[in-house]
Amino acid sequence: MIPLRDTVRSEKPPVVTKTIVILNTIIFIYQALMPQQEMVQFIYRYGLIPVKLHEHHLPLITSVFLHGSWLHLLGNMWSLWLFGDNVEDSMGHFKFLVFYLLCGIASGYTHTAFNAVSDVPTIGASGAVAGVMGAYFLLYPHARIVTLIPTFFVFPMFIRVPAVIFLFFWFLSQLYSGTVNWILGSAAGGVAWWGHVGGFLSGMFLQNFFRTKDYY
């Protein structure tokens, strides 16, 4: 299933959401233009390396603005665009920015807790975006997600999935993958499953302190 849009219109322009999308895109282009060796050093300097977190805490934030591929970037930014405008609406611009960064930090700590001895840098906005999704889960329980269902027929199928169902199963998929790979001791191709789980749960919790109005 491919989520396309939600049914909740934002009342104000999502200034911070747009800025984050643009900033992430600019940084990725900057990365892509680097020589290979320089880019690797850049990732190791600003990516989150669990075993070194006690030495440097800045990567908890800088890693949230780095991505490993166009697909990685597009996936995260699309999810942020889909859910971020409404969550920003419920919090206001500045509060939403602080909320987003705190979710990214919580995600980084959660990932580190389950991968404490890893020396592999973790990058990506997925943990912070998961926090936005967690907030959306509680703030907009009656929303619908317009979803594309690929079929073998000429015309694709579009359905409206309740946001709470869509996000609940997304969360379960992250929890399941994190648990399986933790038990097996697998790095799962570098996917920070537990970071996603931590980000989502932190978003659910933190929205209570950041929302300025309920949008049901």
Question: 2-210: which CATH topology?
Answer: Rhomboid-like fold (1.20.1540)
Residue that the structure tokens 């967690």 belong to: 134
Tokens of 154: 């000429």
Q: What is the pTM of this model?
A: 0.93
Among candidate residues 113, 146, 142, the one with its CA nearest the CA of residue 214? 142
Buried b vs exposed e over 187-196: b needs ≥16 C-beta within 10 Å? eeeebbbbbb
Q: What is the pLDDT of residue 184?
A: 76
Per-block average pLDDT, block size 10, for the chain (216 residues)?
87 96 98 95 96 93 96 96 96 97 97 92 96 97 88 74 95 92 65 94 97 67
Q: How far apart are the first and last CA of the chain?
A: 25
Tokens of 57: 């805490």
The Cα–Cα gap between 169 and 101 comes to 24
Q: What is the pLDDT of residue 55?
A: 87
Residue that the structure tokens 């959401």 belong to: 17
Domain positions in the chain are 2-210
Q: What is the pLDDT of residue 186?
A: 58
| Long-range contacts at 155-161 (CB < 8 A, ≥ 24 apart) | 158/4, 160/7, 161/1
Q: What is the pLDDT of residue 188?
A: 46
Q: What is the pLDDT of residue 154?
A: 64
Other Cβ atoms less than 10 A from the Cβ of 207: the count is: 22
Label the pairing between strands 157-162 and 144-149.
antiparallel
- DSSP code of 148? E
